[in-house]
Structure 1
Amino acid sequence: MKNKDSALTTLSEEAQLPNFIASNLRLLRKQAGWSQTELAEKVGLNRGNIASYESGSAEPSICKLLRISNLFDISTRDFTRLDLSDSAELALARSKRQAEQVERFDAYRKRKAELDHLISSSYDLFRYKRESLDKPCKEAELFAGHYLQLLELSRQLLKEHESLLGELGCQEH
């Protein structure tokens, strides 16, 4: 009878996923024409970090990996799991990342339109209810004041959301 621990160890050793962080980092840095120091400056690290990652003696934290993969316009999954020395694989990884970004921005624009409609509908209902009251009580006026403050805040947040979409270059023209 096999020991449970040895079975788990064997299983985990067999199930190891490939890790291409070191080779991909070196490859992409050299393709960009950057020294380790230049790359480090671009992602807020020091040259020693980059050297350690490229040699495989250390791996970046998820936050550092995100900064690095974003700089090279590749998803963290593709950066760590694909051998990007194949130019077709690299092109596919970049186009996939761009398609994901377009899809995400489309979802943000759609959500903005939904929120805009919701806020407008809410205000229309508020106006209708307010106009249908003959003589509103003090409580109703207090609630109306609070609602109008929330409405203004909601509109401001929506405007900020729209501004961010515009800055990212994904606003419909």
Structure 2
Amino acid sequence: MILSRMNEWVEGVRTEIQRSFSEEHTVRETAGSFSVGVFITMLPTLGTGLLAFVALGWASSRINKAALLASVVVFNPAVKWGVYAASFTLGVAILGPVPGVTPAEVSLSAGPEIVVRLLVGNVVLAVVAAVPSYVVCHRLVAAYRAREFAVVETVSEVVTPEDDEGADETREAIEADEPTGRDAEPIDEPTEPAE
């Protein structure tokens, strides 16, 4: 029961993502939404990033909500600790070490200096991650849509108007229960049983 509900939920998410890739929003809107989502998710928002997603989705119809939420999958809480460690390291590289703080001794008085380095590093990493995420998402969505159109074009090339007329004749013959003349020769039944 739980597994079937989980499968239904996963299928619903998959359907929503495919729908958002192929309908409703342009390629630029989808890629931009994903990029904004990556930027917000990279920041140390302590969970309030999801509230920002809701506010953005409510404020603008051009925001692709599925693309915003897809960014959470990329930078989920399991990988956030690595982002914070890299952000602090980058902040220390840009602003220098926190005066009077060593890895063995950290005091609460150094908190604001540590937070500033974390925020600077987070903003830099968020920008660095948002730009390529836009490019990658744009290419993926464009390729997905091109593939969808290629399938439609291929099917329309295979199905010609003559085929449609033949389909009508076949349908009429089936309804009348008459052979169409296109059937293969009947297979002769063996007269002796196989041993």
* TM-score (norm. length: structure 1): 0.34
Q: With CA pairs under 8 Å and 6+ residues apart, which has the higher RCO, 1 or 2?
A: 2
* TM-score (norm. length: structure 2): 0.31
Tell which structure's C-alpha radius of gyration is larger.
Answer: 2
